[in-house]
Amino acid sequence: MAVRRRRCKRCGRNRAERFFTSERGTVCTDCQRRARQTASRNSRLQETYGITEAEYQRLFEAQGGRCAICGGERRTKLDVDHCHATGKVRGLLCRRCNRRLLPASQDRIEVLEAAIKYLLSPPAVEVIGERIVPNHDTV
């Protein structure tokens, strides 16, 4: 028996009946899911950060699709970073910077400046000289 097919009005693909939720459905389940995800993302951006998807896209393009801190490109969406004290939206960050780096520093500039100083001039080099960790493969 041949599989019955019909065309989705949204994506235009000729899909098997099983991709439609009812006999009268005109939009396939994949398109319905995408629409729900987009609507959900739009409402979450608006409710959580007070920005629209269009404003997110403007930020994304202004940052060249890169994290504002590490500059890494991401295939997935970047996180919207905001100041927890003031609520001000600051920019878009990758998950590592937004969920590890900034929380570890508690958003305190002096902690980040101290980290820079530490990386540029590690105290161990001054005290015991340069040492390489045993079994460390240098790149």
Q: Does residue 134 have a pLDDT over 90?
A: no
| 131 lies in some domain | no
Query: Is the model's pLDDT at 139 over the cut of 70?
Result: no
Q: Mean pLDDT over residues 110-116, rounded?
A: 94
CA–chain centroid gap for 49, Å, is 14
In-domain check, residue 61: yes
Cβ atoms of 68 and 91 within 8 Å: the answer is yes
Number of domains in the chain: 2
User: Do 2 and 55 share a domain, yes or no?
Assistant: no
17 and 59 in a single domain? The answer is no
pLDDT in tens, 46-105: 989 999 999 999 999 999 999 999 999 877 789 999 998 899 999 999 999 999 999 999
Residue 138 pLDDT: 65
In 3-state terms, the chain is what percent helix, strand and coil (to 5)?
45, 10, 40
Nearest to 101 by CA among 65, 68, 64: 68
Residue 39 scores a pLDDT above 80: no
Average pLDDT across the chain, whole number:
89
Domain around 25: 1-38
Does residue 94 fall inside a structural domain?
yes
Q: Is residue 139 part of a domain?
A: no
Q: How many CA atoms lie within 13 A of 20 on its CB side?
A: 19
Model confidence at 38: pLDDT above 80: no
18-40: average pLDDT: 86
Q: Is the domain of 61 the same as that of 101?
A: yes
- Looking at the structure, tell me whether residues 75 and 29 fall in a common domain: no
pTM assigned to the model: 0.66
> Do 87 and 26 belong together in one domain?
no
